[in-house]
Amino acid sequence: MTRRVALVVAYDGAAFHGFQFQDGDIATVQRDLERAIARVADHDISLTCAGRTDTGVHATHQVIHFDTEVSRPAEAWLRGTNRYLPETVSVHWAGEVPGDFDARFSATARRYVYLIDNAPVRSALMTGSITWQPRKLDARLMHAGAQYLLGEHDFSSFRAASCQSRSPVRDMQRIDVSRRGELVVVDLTASAFLHHMVRNIVGTLYETGLGRHSPEWIGEVLAARDRTRAGTTARPDGLYLVDVQYPDAFGVPRGPDLPHLYSYISS
């Protein structure tokens, strides 16, 4: 009998060349997860994830699934897999799910958070976990500009040239920019994201936050459907996948809220 198992996974993206498996035994999250799960299952594993994060991008709530012929309690999948993983990856939840569940295609929304250290001096402790921007950002202007991205749009202006998605249309359900002391937080939820879409949005919001363009300019960039009109691609180290949403019937838990992320990066 084939069983489908889902895992919720967190990882430090600075330790890997992205999530997706690559030839040549390159360190990727998928490689280490498949090896660890295979030792628990006692057979080779091929997994599917909710979103393939790039080199340097982190996750506190990535979701994967795999099929297996063996029966294991959820606790065995969780603790057994963690036993064989490096310290930079951990499984936080495991459970058997219906056979029609798909970590990628069953998802109704993904949530990313981008963290910017807006202090005048870089942190000695947060390298690789947060992006440093020493020039003062106006988070209120960034938030005002970000609201032009709400709704279903063609996001070609924020799409990487290497993006393989068939369509540039995405539904931006929420995008907020806020300041917490010297920390600026960009919080985005969409049906799905294009390659480099979040980082390109953040790089464009920088232009408004630094006073180079008005908030209305963000709407003009979106309408142009031209990547050359947008800002530079922001660094990957401030980007976190923090939640993937599914219909309740699948029983996959939601990601914890932002305070959990702050404790995660400071631990």
Q: Give the catalytic positions in this structure.
A: 54
Residue 232 half-sphere exposure toward CB, CA atoms < 13 A: 4
Q: Amino acid identity of 144? A: A
Euclidean distance between CA atoms 163 and 172, whole angstroms: 18
Euclidean distance between CA atoms 85 and 89, whole angstroms: 6
- 55 token code pair: 């080199």
262 Cβ contact list (under 8 Å, min separation 6): none
Q: Amino acid identity of 117? A: D
